[in-house]
């Protein structure tokens, strides 16, 4: 009987931990990889999450390094209302340089997640 109680308790603990692990949202994909050096900027920045989330904010800044905050880039984008797993954010023309895309999401259970992707837009190569 004691073994059954221990086994039942263990199974409930494992199920609870798996539920917590699966409840957290993660970045599934983006069309610009973290740390990427790209020569051609896509028309949109695409981010896809492991489950639907609310996109509370999205911004692009020039990347001045960890200690110094960069300048914001003007975006013609307002996050949509409702929960979605994929977002397509139109990008403006950007000059060659280092950038950081930052966003904040809210999951169904109310947990917020802030994340970012740093990338570099390289100057076009001379023909």
* Total of domains in the chain: 1
Closest CA to 78 of 87, 65, 67: 87
Let me know if residue 126 belongs to a domain. Answer: no
Let me know if residue 127 belongs to a domain. Answer: no
Q: What is the pLDDT of residue 36?
A: 97
Let me know if residue 18 belongs to a domain. Answer: no
Q: Give residue-wise pLDDT tens across range 37-54.
A: 999 999 999 999 999 999
Let me know if residue 20 belongs to a domain. Answer: no
CB distance 112 to 95 below 8 Å: no
* pTM score, whole prediction: 0.76
Q: Give residue-wise pLDDT tens across range 82-113.
A: 999 999 999 999 999 999 999 999 999 889 99
Domain boundaries, position 114: 26-121
Let me know if residue 60 belongs to a domain. Answer: yes
CATH number, position 65: 2.60.40.1220
């Amino acid at each position: 009987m004691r073994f059954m109680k221990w086994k039942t308790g263990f199974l409930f603990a494992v199920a609870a931990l798996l539920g917590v692990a699966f409840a957290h949202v993660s970045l599934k994909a983006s069309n610009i990889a973290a740390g990427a050096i790209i020569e051609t900027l896509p028309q949109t920045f695409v981010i896809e999450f492991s489950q639907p989330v609310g996109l509370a904010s999205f911004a692009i800044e020039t990347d001045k390094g960890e200690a110094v905050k960069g300048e914001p880039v003007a975006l013609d984008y307002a996050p949509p209302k409702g929960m979605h797993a994929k977002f397509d954010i139109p990008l403006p023309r950007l000059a060659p340089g280092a950038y950081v895309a930052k966003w904040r999401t809210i999951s169904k259970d109310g947990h917020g997640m802030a994340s970012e992707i740093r990338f570099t837009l390289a100057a076009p190569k001379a023909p």
